[in-house]
Structure formats: structure tokens, C-alpha cells
Amino acid sequence: MSNDVINIVADIGGTNLRIAMLDELGNIKNLKTYQCSQYPCLRNVIDDYLQTLEINSLKQDVNACLAIACPVDQDLIDMTNLPWSFSKAKLKADLGLNKLHMINDYTAIAWSINSLDEWQKYKIGGGEVVSHKPIAICGPGTGLGVANVIWGNDQWISVGGEGGHSDFAPINDVEIAILNYLKEKYSRVSYEQLLSGLGIEQIYQALCHYRDVDTKNFSAAEISNRAIEKRCDICLETMEQFCKTLGSFAGNLALTTASFGGVYIAGGIVPRFLEFFEESGFRRRFEAKGRFTHFNAKIPTFVITESQPGLLGASAYLIQQNINEDLCR
């Protein structure tokens, strides 16, 4: 990578924004984390970061790859879980950037998958990776992200999507009760409304209603802590239900794309209770697909334990774009 160009990467979620520079070897350095709610817009955050490092993008060549938690196919970016809206072209001009690449946050994670070492992921259950077969990624966090990676033309191709907004499909009486409870709040219930930080709270509230017990004003973190410590039966049932629902959803992804390259769980929620997750009904529900149970049983599942997969993927994407541009000169 050229020493004359400054390369910036960022992973922009609904809660946190992580931003860093790349050194001459493409490694991440000068990582800084921002709380999105403390800033009125994305430009303010990037301005602050550049000023902190004494970078003047109006006088220096700065390339940026920003991975963001929303669709990026139009010039106007309107974040799903954060009140930020902006034009990509205007942001590039206002910041004085040489190049601006914007990719979906789960597209970025997809770019990181094949560079993860064994210590950056944790296998749950059976199945073995089949080389060059499709890979699926989903991740509970502020929202529910989804992406896929496929092999074609002798390279890995990342395919983004918004699968987290697909319809929630209950498979037993308890889940039907959860669906009916959430239908009182929403005209349509998606998997994201169960498989996110807010989802944990909503499962808890629905189960309290279904079990006819008093609902406490617990946060998602409080619910998970009480479940792990076995201090609350409803909290324990909530987290078990969360894991089973995630298993069903991940299993659906596996069926849809025949993901024999593996299904990866990303996001900030699951790594916080990895032992509980491994012992939960996640894998059983992943495989429980009727006549196709044998199909999913062969597909491995992993939890990504690397703390910055989005930045790793944005880095890989930016490096590849720089290489492609150099080859075209």
C-alpha cells in the first residue's frame, strides 16, 4: 500500500462506531470507538477522528471504506436503527476524501470470514466446512444482520441482504403466543424483533404475559445475567427461547443457500454468553428441519469471537479496491 495515501476504515452500527487507519501492510492501527447517540451525524464523528490524528483530508489523499448497518445501494443513506441520514456524494465532498466506499456492515463481516483464524471463532455442534461452498452469516446486535459469501470466478464474492427483516415463523405454542403478543405492538413481526437487543426484552415481556407473571423493567443485559446465574426462571426461559429462535433462523439461512461452507454467528450479543449458548437449544433447532434434518446436520456453525470483524472486512475490501484500481492504471 502506498505511503502517500491515508486509508481509513469504519464499522458503523446502531450503537457504536469503530474507526481506524491502515498501516502500510494493511493492518489496523489507531482504533477509536464512538457512541453514535452522542453525535448528530456521521460527518461529525469522522471529522473528530481525523482531527484527533491531525489528518487534513483537504490537503492529504484519504481513502475510506465505511461499513454501515443499513442498505447502501442508493446515494441517500438512511440508517435503520439510528437517526442519521446523508448523501454519500456530499459526505465525500464535505470530508474532502479521495475515494469513498460504502458497504453494508454484514458485507464487511462477510469479507472477513475467510481470514479468521481458529482463535477468532468458536464452533458449536457438528458438521465440517466444505471448501468453496457457500457461507452464511447472521448476527444479533442492535439489529439482525445477514450476508452470504459465495465462490465464483476464482474468488470469494460477498452478497449482502436484509434477511433479518424476514417474517418470524413460530413453530410451537409458546412461539405462537410470542407472535400474538408482538402483533399487538407491530403490524408485522420480523425475526429482528426477537433476535436483537430489543428482541430479548420483547421475548421476556411476551413470556411474562403468557405465563401470567409480573413483568419487571429489566434490560436485555439484566435478563441475560439473571438467566446465566439462574436467578430468574422467566429470564432463563427468555434466553433459551432467544437461542432456539436464532437456531431456527440460522438453519433457514443454511437451507436457503446450502451453506456447507458454514454458518457464522456475528454481532455483539452471543459472545457475551458463549457457554450458555453452546449448551442451549440453538444447534438442535438449527438441525430440526424435518425431512432435511440430515442436510443441516452436516453444516457447521460458528460464533465469531473476533472483536472487530467489521473492520477486518472493511480493510480487506478497501485493500482489494486499491489493488483493482492499481491494476487498471
Nearest to 281 by CA among 224, 221, 237: 237
Ligand-binding annotation for 12, yes or no, is: yes
Ligand-binding annotation for 141, yes or no, is: no
Tell me the C-alpha distance between 142 and 105, whole Å: 12
For residue 307, how many other CB atoms are within 10 A of its CB? 13
Tell me the C-alpha distance between 63 and 197, whole Å: 33
Tell me the C-alpha distance between 122 and 282, whole Å: 14
Nearest to 170 by CA among 218, 203, 215, 126: 203
Ligand-binding annotation for 11, yes or no, is: yes
Say which residue the cell 491502515 belongs to: 22
Ligand-binding annotation for 220, yes or no, is: no
Say which residue the cell 424483533 belongs to: 193
Given a contact cutoff of 8 angstroms between Cβ atoms, the answer to whether 231 and 242 are in contact is: no
List all residues 6 or more positions away from 95 whose beta carbon is below 8 Å from its beta carbon. Answer: 43, 46, 47, 50, 57, 62, 64
| SS3 (DSSP) at 1 | coil
Nearest to 205 by CA among 167, 178, 233: 178
List all residues 6 or more positions away from 103 whose beta carbon is below 8 Å from its beta carbon. Answer: 65, 66, 67, 68, 72, 111, 160, 314, 317
**Cell triple for 183:** 402483533
Nearest to 241 by CA among 275, 195, 287: 195
Ligand-binding annotation for 228, yes or no, is: no
Ligand-binding annotation for 4, yes or no, is: no
Nearest to 64 by CA among 50, 48, 78: 50
> What residue numbers does the annotated binding site cover?
10-15
> What residue numbers does the annotated binding site for ATP cover?
10-15
